[in-house]
Amino acid sequence: MGIGVNIGYFQYWMDKNKWKINKLDLYDVPDIDLSDLIIRFDLTFGG
């Protein structure tokens, strides 16, 4: 049996001036920040 814990930080944001759909620029879109803390717990049974 094994136990594991991983902690990290995912950093990603989208610039509102670079949104495109079908090669067309989009305007008046929000800034999106998807950055957040990541915590993962693992339990392993067997070999």
Please report, in tens digits, the pLDDT of each residue of the chain (47 residues total).
999 999 999 998 777 777 888 988 888 888 788 899 999 999 999 86
Q: Are 39 and 7 in contact (CB under 8 A)?
A: yes
| pTM, rounded to two decimals | 0.50
Tell me what pLDDT residue 13 has.
76
42 in a domain, yes or no?
no
19 in a domain, yes or no?
yes
Domain around 20: 9-36
Tell me what pLDDT residue 47 has.
66
Tell me what pLDDT residue 37 has.
96
Residue 17 to residues 2, 11, 21, 23, 28, Cα–Cα distance (Å) = 46, 19, 13, 13, 9
How many domains is the chain partitioned into structurally? 1
Tell me what pLDDT residue 25 has.
86
31 in a domain, yes or no?
yes
